């Protein structure tokens, strides 16, 4: 069973990334990228993370993989990424975006990526960077790249519901604190 860092000790990074050309980033819903630093214990495996996510029930794990090295975003679902192995430098917002954000994340971190936020792998720092990718049940995820023809998909982000419960902590947690503010 995965142990999670108590909310009182959790360090969270919140970052609103401005839109850049055809990549909407956080501009549509004004929901920030959330990084829960060390949310899972370093000993937590991908199986442990998937079991925890299943118990909380806000998102359903759908894959284990690294992050694509091409900037992409999703318009049909917000994404929850649990880092199960390694460390990496990621780019959020698009490579040429002066407002981009390039954090280093590692095992045990959780990223809550709002729909529309472009993201890609910049550098796999240790080799073998892996994540558990999860989405709200019943919300299939798509792949968009900020190219012509995606406008209708991007517009659909406006009506996409946010999490009613935090994907890691349930009734409390940073993802739902934003709803109460």
The angle at the Cα of 140, spanning 39 to 11, to the nearest 5 degrees, equals 15
State residue 3's pLDDT score.
Answer: 82
Q: pLDDT, tens digit, for every residue of 89-122?
A: 999 999 999 999 999 999 999 999 999 999 999 9
State residue 2's pLDDT score.
Answer: 67
- 3-state SS assignment for residue 112: strand
Pick the CATH number of 7-148 from 2.60.120, 3.30.43, 1.10.150, 1.10.10: 2.60.120
How many CB atoms sit inside 10 A of residue 18's CB? Answer: 15
The domain limits of the chain are 7-148
Average pLDDT over residues 58-67: 98
Tokens of 1: 């069973």
- Tell me the C-alpha distance between 93 and 96, whole Å: 8
Res. 1: pLDDT tops 60: no
- Tell me the C-alpha distance between 166 and 52, whole Å: 12
Task: Evaluate whether 163 touches 114 at the Cβ level (below 8 Å).
Answer: no
Task: Evaluate whether 26 touches 94 at the Cβ level (below 8 Å).
Answer: no
State residue 44's pLDDT score.
Answer: 96
pTM of the prediction?
0.96
């Amino acid at each position: 069973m995965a142990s999670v860092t108590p909310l009182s000790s959790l360090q969270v990074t919140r970052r609103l990334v401005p839109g850049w050309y055809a990549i909407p980033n956080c501009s549509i819903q004004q929901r920030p990228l959330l990084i829960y630093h060390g949310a899972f214990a370093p000993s937590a495996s991908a199986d442990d993370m998937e079991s925890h996510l299943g118990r909380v029930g806000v998102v359903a794990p759908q894959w284990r993989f690294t992050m694509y090295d091409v900037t992409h975003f999703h318009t049909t679902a917000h994404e929850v990424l649990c880092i199960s192995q390694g460390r990496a430098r990621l780019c959020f917002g698009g490579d040429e975006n002066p407002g981009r954000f390039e954090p280093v994340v590692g095992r045990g971190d959780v990223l809550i990526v709002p729909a529309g936020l472009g993201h890609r792998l910049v550098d796999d720092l240790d080799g073998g960077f892996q994540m558990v990718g999860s989405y709200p049940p019943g919300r299939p995820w798509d792949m968009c790249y900020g190219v012509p023809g995606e406008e209708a998909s991007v517009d659909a982000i406006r009506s996409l519901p946010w999490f009613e419960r935090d994907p890691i902590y349930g009734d409390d947690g940073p993802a739902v604190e934003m709803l109460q503010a």
